[in-house]
Chain A
Amino acid sequence: DTEVTQTPKHLVMGMTNKKSLKCEQHMGHRAMYWYKQKAKKPPELMFVYSYEKLSINESVPSRFSPECPNSSLLNLHLHALQPEDSALYLCASSQEGNSNQPQHFGDGTRLSIL
């Protein structure tokens, strides 16, 4: 059982749709992350929030918009995605953002863009 919960588990959307991915953790962690993972590849970092403030944006296209409403929740808003955005989107959390503490991952949302 994972302590980082992601919803939905699967999402199919058209290129003109707007949808959101949600992530929740109750471990008291102060850093949360979004990753994108393509098949048979390691995860690629997209965004890092530390103490509810965006601290890293890895030059992600603006059609991906992160939001951190509070220290337990992390959203990723999607709009006008492209077929190449189809991937597994993973959320993770850690005690601190700028430390060597391990990150704990959710099971991901598998996104398919039609």
Chain B
Amino acid sequence: GDSVTQMEGPVTLSEEAFLTINCTYTATGYPSLFWYVQYPGEGLQLLLKATKADDKGSNKGFEATYRKETTSFHLEKGSVQVSDSAVYFCALSDAYSSNTGKLIFGQGTTLQVKP
């Protein structure tokens, strides 16, 4: 079945450092890929998305490119801030094979940014 694998955390960085959180996926159809962020005490917020190969999603300085050849969707940010401290979830939706639009989540990566 479909699955998402994220790098294990926690990831601890200093402010203004470069961020990469790795995400790879397995899917039988043509999934859409998403990054969600969850701040402490809150629900999940959609951070960015990509719907087909080579699409680049971007938002709030974060970027991720849909790489079909490596089945990856790595999250990057050039300069992190303390306010970026949160849990980041990579997810896919593969409605065309599953006919449900069900979200498959990775295990989540905790990011802590220190001043």
Contacts and interface: CB of A to CB of B under 8 A. Distances in A.
Interface stretch (A63-71, A76-84, A92-100): A92-100
B16 to A, nearest CB: 27
Interface string A30-52: 01000000001111010010000
A100 B43 contact: no
- Report the interface size class on chain B: 20 to 34
B69 interface: no
A41 B107 contact: yes
Nearest to B49: A102
Given A45-B102, A100-B95, A40 B108 contact: yes
Nearest to B9: A40
A99 B94 CA distance: 8
- Report the interface size class on chain A: 20 to 34
A20 interface: no
B46 A55 contact: no
Contact of A100 (B42, B44, B46, B93): B93
A43 B94 CA distance: 17
A85 interface: no
Interface of B: 31-32, 34, 36, 41-46, 49, 51, 87, 89, 93-96, 99-103, 105-108, 110
Interface of A: 2, 4, 6, 31, 40-43, 45, 48, 55-56, 90, 92, 94, 96-108
Given A97-B101, A98-B99, A101-B93, 5 more contacts: A43-B103, A45-B102, A56-B102, A99-B93, A108-B42
